[in-house]
Amino acid sequence: MEEIIRFFKFLTKYRNRLVDQVMFYMSMICALLTITHIGYITDKGIAETTQSLVTGSFYFLFVLVALRTAAAIVTRRKLNSSHILGLLLTAYFLFIVFCHINHIEYFAKHEWVYLGIAVVFLSELSRSSLFFDNFYFNPTILFIISFLALILLGTVLLMLPRTTIEAPLSFVDALFMATSAVCITGLSVTDISTNFSVFGQSVIMLLIQIGGLGIMTFTGFFGYFFSGGFSYKNQLMFGEILGENKLNSVVSTLLTIIFITLFFELLGGIFIYFSLDANQFGSNAERIFFSAFHAISSFCNAGFSILHGGITHQAYQTNYAFQICLASIFILGGLGFGTVFNFYSFLKNWGRRLMHRFVLRRPFVHKPRAITFNTRFVLICNAIVVVAATFSYYFLEQQHTLTEHASVAGDWATSFFMANSSRSAGFNSVPVGFVGGSTLIMLVTLMWIGSSPGSTGGGVKVTTVAVSLMNVIALARGKDSIEIFRRRIASESVNKSFAIILLSVLMITLSFILLTFANPDQPMKSLLFESISAYTTCGLSLGVTPSLSAAGKIIVVFTMFIGRVGALTLLVAFIKNTKNKSYIYPTEKILF
């Protein structure tokens, strides 16, 4: 027994990397077996056999996790985050085993076994992702590769027979749906409410969640805990991916993004749950799944819905409480993680001030500029767009789609929902093809403007448009720079804003031209709308998406991917010149 203990101590102390690799591959095999059982096996007899194999792999992983955790604790003689989470996993396994032995019906379901295997694989995958710094990768290229890998994985999962209720998806359709989910667009070639099984809908929901956060952010979060921390090279890599300049803030930024996302999704799911009519669901579990799916899809500005016909469904088109919940969630998601966290920090600081003043009765040390310049700028830009878009939709649609609503409150709720959803969320409570021509132009403009930088939303970003407009005004007034809030906007930001706008116009034009060649039978207006929606990752459509040719779908796939990653990001990743120049050419002026 002592020799076995010494052997495990030797492995965890000197062969820890080997142990991690073995655990990763074993958990991957178990996860693939589980996915095969859930998504591929349709024969009842074979399904019983594979279920036994999945349960056996569950117990096998339980033994491996328990042994590694115990050996690591004994060897290091102290607890870190990876040990604590290992103990929690072991406790979870013990609880599920106890429920199986004692036939506790709810927790003895197979879904809990699948969840345990998934968590172990996710932990090992996240732990392994931290070793990408052993290879030379431009972080921007790594960011792009991670999205491509997630899209390919999603494509394989969506092609499984049990993903759909009727015929399995073709490769092109599965690739389209996976790209739309990962790029949080919402365009769909099939109705996921009627053609997708619960497993298929769960895959879409997971792809939306990981795609909205970014797979490197997602795996980095779990990898930080399961590995016990970040190395210096890890911090450099994730600092560039997250756009964080301070190395000591990389971990806090990563954790903040995750916790903000999960908190607002949970809060939004609760509000959605209570806004629903219980009679519309067969069970409480269906109602919870519906709430979770729409909370995730809404916060990530994805636009997917498991309602037949989307929010235009008869039972939800006049459920204004449900629409307001969705709108509040996707507006928060579209503000950006930095803005939301800064506002949270301001409220926390304000609460402490009140506590010191009225309860503790002692002076409070104020922090200078609790609300940052970027937060103020983002909030003002969004407020202007939200108010202007809502009023515009209300007045433009008085003689069109708003005539179906019986109350003024319903008119304003619909206007608020549609105007702000068109910026990036992609939900629609009225068919887009029924709105007036002027409103359609406004919706296209809002789709192109999009949401805020650093958010789950798409578009060229509202701050980009604002900076460009202010630069035009500054030039008209004869000024050399843009000034706002007693600050001067950096020339680099101005140049970048015009570059983003120009690239968006070029990419949308290219996508539209290619679509007209690939689908000459479709109306040009619908194809242009489709191109803009795909590039801005909005997801609204005039109904041509399912009828696109295979070539047309591939074109839209590339457009969605470039729109999500960013055309400028792709250019920087592949043609950036890192050599420093020690000279400056003479300056010349160009005639305009």
DSSP codes of every residue in 521-557: TS-HHHHHHHHHHHHTT----SS-GGG--HHHHHHHH
Q: What's the whole-model pTM score?
A: 0.83
Rounded-to-integer distance, Cα 144 and Cα 418, Å: 31
Rounded-to-integer distance, Cα 533 and Cα 444, Å: 8
Identify the pLDDT of residue 509. Answer: 92
The top-scoring range by mean pLDDT among 133-147, 366-380, 453-467 is 453-467
In sequence order, which residues have a C-beta less than 8 Å from that of residue 301 and are 6 or more positions away? 184, 212, 330, 333, 334, 424, 425, 426, 451, 455, 456, 457, 458, 537
Rounded-to-integer distance, Cα 448 and Cα 509, Å: 13
Interior angle at CA 275, CA 271 and CA 278, nearest 5: 120
Identify the pLDDT of residue 251. Answer: 62
Asked if pLDDT for residue 272 goes beyond 80, the answer is yes
Identify the pLDDT of residue 66. Answer: 76
Rounded-to-integer distance, Cα 3 and Cα 9, Å: 10
Identify the pLDDT of residue 513. Answer: 93
For residues 417 and 324, is the Cβ–Cβ distance under 8 A?
yes
Rounded-to-integer distance, Cα 275 and Cα 112, Å: 28
CB burial of residue 570 (10 Å; 0-12, 13-18, 19+)? middle
Identify the pLDDT of residue 232. Answer: 47
For residues 558 and 537, is the Cβ–Cβ distance under 8 A?
no
| N-term to C-term CA, the chain | 85
Asked if pLDDT for residue 314 goes beyond 90, the answer is no
For residues 203 and 179, is the Cβ–Cβ distance under 8 A?
no
Rounded-to-integer distance, Cα 466 and Cα 287, Å: 41
Q: Give the containing element (helix H, strand E) for 413.
A: helix 408-420
Across 317-335, average pLDDT: 86
Across 358-379, average pLDDT: 72
Please, which pLDDT band fits residue 531 given cuts at 50, 70 and 90?
very high
Across 15-28, average pLDDT: 71
Please, which pLDDT band fits residue 477 given cuts at 50, 70 and 90?
confident
